[in-house]
Amino acid sequence: MSAPGKTNRLIDETSPYLLQHARNPVAWYPWGEEALEKARGEDKPLLLSVGYSACHWCHVMERESFENEEIAALMNQHFVSIKVDREERPDIDEIYMNAVQMMTGSGGWPLTVFLTPALKPFYGGTYFPPDDRYGRPGFKTVLTELARVFAEERNKIQETSDALTERLQVLSLTPKTPEILTRSVVSLAARELAARFDAREGGFSPAPKFPPHGALSLLLRHHRASGDAEELAMVELTLDKMAAGGMYDHLGGGFHRYSTDERWLVPHFEKMLYDNALLAPVYLDAYRVTGNAAYARVARETLEWVLREMQGDDGGYYSTQDADSEGEEGKFYVWSHAELSELLGEAFEPFAKTYDVTTSGNWEGHTILNLPGGLKSFDESLASSRQKLLQSRDARVHPGLDDKILTSWNGLMVVAMARAYRVLGDQRFLDSARRAARFIESSLYDGDRLLATCRSGRAQHKAYLDDHAFFLAAYVELFECDFDPAWLEHARQIADAMKRLFVDENQGGFYFTGSDHEPLITRTKTGFDGAIPSGNAIAATYLLKLAEYTGARDVELLAVNSLHTFQAQMEQSPSGFAQMVAAVDFYLSDKREIVVVGPRDAAATKEALLELWSVYAPNVSIALTDPEREGVDIPLFEGKTAGPNPEDPRFYICASYSCEAPTDDVSQVVSTLKT
């Protein structure tokens, strides 16, 4: 291991992940012209290592290889080594992850890719052990052999890298189809999910199981139209199993990254902002559909964890909490029988029975708290025990916190907080969402150019499609909470920037990087959902919603072109395009708008809005106009006047701007929403 005072070029970065490697004996470079020029000038291959701060196997590979003086010497002699935080540079991560998946059939982090000086990939993988083991070549073996091949068999490397690069460039060719969009793709996606469903444990795959937020949301949407009881049952079983298992933090709230087993018991313990931003709305929607208060509790606890631990004083939401503490994965979250018994005293037995506490434990001799009796076994009378354990746990050494602010993930969490305000009526969530939005506005712009990431007051990296699309969603959802037209103005500005920087004028859809971005070996464009929904899909969804409120048909056309761009791919693999399919469903549904006319701060108006928001109606837009506000120029509000008592709200039920006679009876509107 390097001496404490010795550093490499990563020491000047702000990313916690890059700073973790700043004292490795490897002569790491950040991605940038200095490293690329060195590779070209010295005719050396590039060794690109991509990871993120909460990645357990990234830490393992660092300890085993990047802190190993012998391996570091090989890297320094034969390669120009670049370390990238995938959360800061998702553009680089996406390109070279695609390359490794083409080469090996799988991917993951740490991502390890070898490139020519022209940035073309020729070999790659994920985690490599330091020596040959686990059926994998050791990193020393890989480095030695690739250095030899690069020196002696350059033609072979050139052929491989050229062919791979050509395949990567083809991925972005998505010609739009002139065929008519139909809702059949929604039903097809639901059938695909049903065919993969784990009827015993929930979810749609074998272990490891990742939280299927997009699939669950799509099934709820389709169930709303079809009334199919089996679709709702799939959603409920999966939500129940995830929230009852060790995937969920039963003391502090929030979900871990994924389950390593099929029962959702043993998680990979990191907590990601985006997972929780995407899961909370699904639980809220399921609560509205079923009335199951357990779903509301899980969503509330998840977002309260965010308020408590993941939102900075300036309003921005942090990125991740690590899986490891004191060098051990999960140490912060697990318990011993003796420890729990001592802490809880007489309250131990009922707690142990409820939360699966045994002398032998359920994971490596320790206990991961879970509810084997399911969500229905949650016992409110154990609240004091849970609080006592949470306080005790807080005294432990905490996992590392990646406190950088990502514009894209902040947009997702603003959406979750806004949705929670509407469903739960808790002002704290709306206040939190507003603070985050205002932080992005004040700290993540360079002139009129949105930036992607910020830490320690230093904002950098031109924002990507996801940053724009997810904040477009955030602004629309904020408008749907307080009906301040300024949010729609911000949304329109984001839409204009997306059109200017990201649109593929020839084939439709949006590129991931802007037209002013640094040139890479390809400019990616995808509608497929990964760990987060695709930027193209969220863009299509919320451009359509923005058009509903503003009447901006140019905005609607951007969305429709994107849907047609990915239509053929959707039809081939609809469940992989869950968010895009949801956008198709919204686009093709009979448009309905509810306009509420009344004083925003009046108790009667607030109560009426909560009643309307309590109904799950994903294809209905609800907006309020306050007669006391001036200068609100929204076509949807034209001709809408208050009732005989201006203190009471009046309701207009509209379909594509054609409205029925107004009513003062909110129950009539609620009945309409339920049909």
Q: Tens of pLDDT along 578-589?
A: 999 999 999 999
Name the residue type at position 361.
G
Q: Is 203 inside a domain boundary?
A: yes
Residue labelled with tokens 């902040």: 410
- Say which CATH number the domain at 600 has: 3.40.30.10
Q: 3-class DSSP state for residue 358?
A: coil
Q: Are residues 69 and 143 in the same domain?
A: yes
**Is 50 exceeded by the pLDDT of residue 1?**
no
Q: Are residues 501 and 410 in the same domain?
A: yes
52 vs 62, 93, 533, 649, CA distance in Å? 12, 11, 19, 50
Q: Is 2 inside a domain boundary?
A: no
| Per-residue confidence band for 2, with pLDDT thresholds at 50, 70 and 90 | very low
pLDDT digits (tens, 9 = 90+) for 487-541: 999 999 999 999 999 999 988 999 999 999 999 999 999 999 999 999 999 999 9
The pTM of the full predicted model, rounded to 2 decimals, is 0.95
Q: Are residues 415 and 499 in the same domain?
A: yes
Q: At what angle do helices 485-501 and 553-565 cross, to 10 degrees?
A: 50
Q: Are residues 551 and 646 in the same domain?
A: no
Q: 3-class DSSP state for residue 168?
A: helix
Rounded to whole angstroms, the Cα distance separating 196 from 190 reads 10
340 and 357 Cβ atoms separated by less than 8 Å: yes
**Is 50 exceeded by the pLDDT of residue 642?**
yes
Rounded to whole angstroms, the Cα distance separating 535 from 537 reads 5
Which structure tokens are listed for 571? Answer: 């039809």
Q: Is 656 inside a domain boundary?
A: yes
- Say which CATH number the domain at 192 has: 1.50.10.10
Q: Is 1 inside a domain boundary?
A: no
Average model confidence (pLDDT) for the chain?
A: 95
What is the rounded radius of gyration, in angstroms, for the C-alpha atoms of the chain?
Answer: 26
Residue labelled with tokens 């093709």: 588
Name the domain boundary from 394, 417, 434.
Answer: 394
Rounded to whole angstroms, the Cα distance separating 468 from 528 reads 17
DSSP per-residue letters across 174-203: -PPP-SPP-THHHHHHHHHHHHH--TTT-S
Name the domain boundary from 366, 394, 422.
Answer: 394
23 and 13 Cβ atoms separated by less than 8 Å: no
Name the domain boundary from 394, 413, 439.
Answer: 394
**Is 80 exceeded by the pLDDT of residue 409?**
yes
Nearest to 536 by CA among 589, 577, 592: 577
Q: Is 297 inside a domain boundary?
A: yes
Half-sphere exposure of 590 (CA within 13 A, CB side): 7
Which structure tokens are listed for 295? Answer: 């779903």
Q: Are residues 347 and 422 in the same domain?
A: no
Angle at CA of residue 169, ends 166 and 173, nearest 5°: 130
Q: Are residues 651 and 618 in the same domain?
A: yes
b/e code 400-418 from CB counts within 10 Å (16+ = b): bbbbbbbbbbbbbbbbbbb
Q: Is 627 inside a domain boundary?
A: yes
- What is the per-residue pLDDT for 655? 83
Q: Is 178 inside a domain boundary?
A: no
Residues 6 or more apart whose CB falls under 8 angstroms from that of 395 comprise none
pLDDT digits (tens, 9 = 90+) for 265-280: 999 999 999 999 999 9
Which structure tokens are listed for 671? Answer: 């009945």
Domain count, the chain: 4
Residues 6 or more apart whose CB falls under 8 angstroms from that of 105 comprise none
Average pLDDT estimate for 74-90 = 97
Nearest to 592 by CA among 618, 616, 558, 561: 618
Q: Are residues 598 and 550 in the same domain?
A: no
Q: Are residues 366 and 415 in the same domain?
A: no
Structural domain range at position 133: 9-171
Q: Are residues 426 and 453 in the same domain?
A: yes
Which structure tokens are listed for 368? Answer: 């991961």
Q: Are residues 464 and 558 in the same domain?
A: yes
pLDDT digits (tens, 9 = 90+) for 205-261: 999 999 999 999 999 999 999 999 999 999 999 999 999 999 999 999 999 999 999
Q: Are residues 372 and 313 in the same domain?
A: no
For 125, the enclosing helix (H) or strand (E) is strand 121-125
Q: Is 361 inside a domain boundary?
A: yes
Q: Are residues 574 and 616 in the same domain?
A: no
Rounded to whole angstroms, the Cα distance separating 111 from 523 reads 20
